[in-house]
Structure 1
Amino acid sequence: MKPRIKIITLAVVDLQKSLAFYRDGMGLHTEGIIGTEFEDGAVVFFEMNDDLILALWPRRSLAKDAKVPVTPSSPS
C-alpha cells in the first residue's frame, strides 16, 4: 500500500477570517463552520483534490484537544 496524506490540519487564531480567506480568497469549497454545537468543536473542512481535506481548527481548541499549552502566535 502506498502512503498517502488525507487530512492536513491548521490551527488558526480567527476561524471566521480564515474561513473567508480560504473560501472567498482561494476559492476552496466548504460547508462552512460545523460543530459549533459542541464545546471546542467548531471546525472548517475544505475538500481538496485527490480526496485531501484541509481542516481549520481554532488554536485554543486544537491545543486543548492535544493537551498542550497555547503558545503565542508566530509573527510570520
Structure 2
Amino acid sequence: MHATTLAVADIERSAAFYTALFGIEGSGIIGTEYVATDTAAGGTTAMFTLDDGLIVSVYGRDDMRKDASVALATDPSTTIGHFEESREAADAFLERARAAGATMLEPPYTRPWGMYSGFFQDPDGHLWEVVANPGLGDPAAGA
C-alpha cells in the first residue's frame, strides 16, 4: 500500500475538492479529536483510498511542519501524476478537476512521442498532470 500526503491550508476545503474530484462519498476527514498544541501536531486529516490502492491524504501545513520538524516549500516542487487509458478518460478527469474548483493550466496537448497530458493545480497549488498514454496497460506497447 502507498500513500501521498499533501500539506494544505484548509483541510475542509481540500477534503471537499478531493471528494468531488474522486467521486467519493463523505468528507474523508478523521482525527479531529487530536487537537494541535503550540508544539505538537494535531491529528486532523482527510484520506481517500483510490481504486488502485493509493491513499491520497490532506494534512494541515502547520501540522505537517510540526510533525516533520522542517520548513515546508511554498511552491510546488513535484507533480502528482494520474494516468488514464484514453484521451477521453483524461479529458473527463480534467473536467472533474475543473468542476471541483481546480485551477486549469494550459489546455491538454499531445507530445511529440504520443503522450497526451494536461495540468491543473488543486486549491493549495499542488500540481497534477493527467496523462493518457496510448500504451498504458499494454506491456507489449513498449517502455
**TM-score class normalised by the smaller sequence:** 0.7 to 0.9
Query: 2:2 aligns to what?
Result: 6
Q: Which runs of 5+ in 1 are unaligned?
A: none
Query: 1:19 aligns to what?
Result: 15
Q: TM-score, normalised by structure 2?
A: 0.43
User: Alignment identity in percent?
Assistant: 38
- Higher relative contact order structure (alpha carbons within 8 Å, sequence separation ≥ 6): 1
Cα deviations by residue, 1:6-56 (Å, 9 ceiling, x for unpaired): 101101111111011111244135562110111211000001122110011
Size of the alignment, in residue pairs? 71
Q: How far apart, CA to CA, are the structure 2 residues paired with 1:28 and 1:62?
A: 24
After TM superposition, the runs of 4+ consecutive aligned structure 1 residues lying more than 6 A away are: none
Matched, 1:46 2:51: no
- The 1:55–1:30 alpha-carbon spacing in structure 2 relative to 1, beyond 3 Å, is farther
Q: How far apart, CA to CA, are the structure 2 residues paired with 1:48 and 1:25?
A: 11
Which has the larger Rg? 2
Q: Which runs of 5+ in 2 are unaligned?
A: 36-41, 77-124, 126-143
| Contact 1:28–1:47, Cα closer than 8 Å, also in 2 | no
Letter matched to residue 33 of structure 2? E
| Contact 1:30–1:46, Cα closer than 8 Å, also in 2 | no
Question: What's the RMSD between the two structures over aligned residues?
Answer: 2.2
Q: TM-score, normalised by structure 1?
A: 0.76
Q: How far apart, CA to CA, are the structure 2 residues paired with 1:52 and 1:26?
A: 12
